[in-house]
Structure 1
């Protein structure tokens, strides 16, 4: 259970980053790219810090990566539906 808290914190942090970038009138893809860059920065900082503190920050970055992957899948599925030539509204 203890590992789920930092992962959830990472997801929440990246959600806030995504919402802030969307409030600045960014497209979904650009907001997702900003979240990916935030994940890479946090991962790099955790490697630089090292030790137990760096490991905890690395777990937070894992939650950020999970958010980026899930949001990317949702955006890809949503854009795939919007650009279908033949719609089936049955």
Structure 2
């Protein structure tokens, strides 16, 4: 069960990155791309560092990847709702 702590940290960190970028830039496309970019940067850093610390960073990046997919799916369905409301 201890594996869920770093995954939760990564999830919360990437949601925070998404919210900060969305409110600063006001661009949905950039806000959706930023969590994926930060995830892949952390994965690269974890491979460069290696050892146990790198493995811990890789687990955190797994949580970040989950958060990036969740934000992508949520923004996709949110866009569908807006399109359906505007058509009626």
Tell me whether the two structures share a fold, i.e. TM-score over 0.5: yes
More helix by share: 2
Deviation at 1:22, TM superposition (A): 1.5
Task: Structure 1: give runs of 5+ residues left out of the alignment.
Answer: none
The one-character-per-residue Cα deviations of 1:45-78 (angstroms, maximum 9, x if unpaired) are 0011111111100000000000000111111011
Q: Which residue of 2 aligns with 1:61?
A: 61
Q: CA deviation at 1:81?
A: 1.7
Shift of 1:41: 0.3
User: Which structure has the larger Rg over C-alpha atoms?
Assistant: 1
Find the counterpart in structure 2 of residue 14 from structure 1.
Answer: 14
How many aligned residue pairs are there? 87
Query: What is the RMSD computed on CA atoms of the aligned residues?
Result: 1.4
Any idea what the Cα deviations from partners look like across 1:4-45, whole Å, max 9, x if unmatched?
000000011111211211221322221110111000100000
The answer as to 2:6 corresponding to 1:34 is no
| Rounded Cα–Cα distance in structure 2 between residues aligned with 1:39 and 1:86 | 36
Runs (4+) off by over 6 Å: none
Determine helix, strand or coil for the equivalent of 2:26: coil
Unaligned runs of at least 5 residues, structure 2: none
Displacement of 1:86 in angstroms is: 4.9
